[in-house]
Amino acid sequence: YLSTELQKIGQQMYNKKVGVIAAGLMSTFWVSLFWTPRFSNDFLAFFFQLAAIYCFWRGVMHKHGKWWTYLFGLFLGLGFITRAQSVLIAGALLFFLFIVQRLSFLKNKDLWISVLFFFIPVLPYFVWLSNNFGSFFAFSTGYSSQVASASPFGWYVLNFPYLFLGIFLFVFFIIGLVSL
């Protein structure tokens, strides 16, 4: 099902060929083939993220109706309670809106209402966290107790592009980032 979501997003953003290529790549991607029959919340969260991006594109960018924008907030909230890192999608889309529309997106009433739709699934989750763990932010420790144990953040991952690409491809990577 994720490949059809990718096809819809690619088709809406670019054209049908891009959508078919994205669907084909996702349907043969080894990570999705490995994790699909196993119990994991990653792909459910990925589905909610893709659904949020699709609804964002339909509602905010193409203005196909306010309900698409509201569904964007709802799917983002469902993605957040499935996997907290899904909220990074909201940050990326806000950055995108800032680049495209500057500050005029703050006047969009439907986006503000979508924030309320975001909190429909999130508020019961926060209440549950507070009741069971004594904090609204108990999810912040993630898979390990890194936050609770005050372990240093893994800044070493910033070296990975250079280590994996080598100097030649790393230069092209930096040129691509600058041109982006």
Q: How far apart are CA 100 and CA 176, in angstroms?
A: 19
Position 1 confidence tier, pLDDT thresholds 50, 70, 90: low
Give the tens place of pLDDT for each residue, 57-74.
888 887 888 898 899 999
Answer whether residue 137 shows pLDDT above 80: no
Report the candidate in 110, 98, 117, 113 with the shortest Cα–Cα distance to residue 48: 117
- Tens-digit pLDDT profile for residues 21-47: 777 877 787 777 777 777 778 888 888
What's the confidence (pLDDT) of residue 71?
Answer: 92
Question: CB pairs under 8 A, 24+ apart, for 65-68?
Answer: 66/110, 66/113
Check pLDDT > 90 for residue 152: no
Mean pLDDT for all residues in the chain: 80
Which pLDDT band holds residue 141 (cuts at 50, 70, 90)? low
- Is pLDDT at 168 greater than 70 in this prediction? yes
Sequence letter at residue 37: P
Residue type, 38: R
Confidence of residue 149 (pLDDT cuts 50, 70, 90): low
Count Cβ atoms within 10 A of the Cβ of residue 105 and give its class: 0-12 exposed, 13-18 middle, 19 or more buried.
middle
d(CA 119, CA 127): 12
- pLDDT for residue 165: 80
Calculate the CA 84 to chain-centre distance: 10
Confidence (pLDDT) at 75: 93
pLDDT number for residue 2: 58
- Alpha-carbon span 150 to 77, nearest angstrom: 28
Q: How far apart are CA 27 and CA 83, in angstroms?
A: 22
Of the candidates 84, 96, 91, 98, the one whose C-alpha atom is nearest the C-alpha of residue 141 is 84
Token representation of residue 102:
């500057």
Q: Which whole number is the average pLDDT over 113-127? A: 90
Top pLDDT among 100 and 7 is at 100
Q: Residue 76's pLDDT is what?
A: 93
User: Helix-strand-coil percent breakdown of the chain, rounded to 5?
Assistant: 80, 0, 20
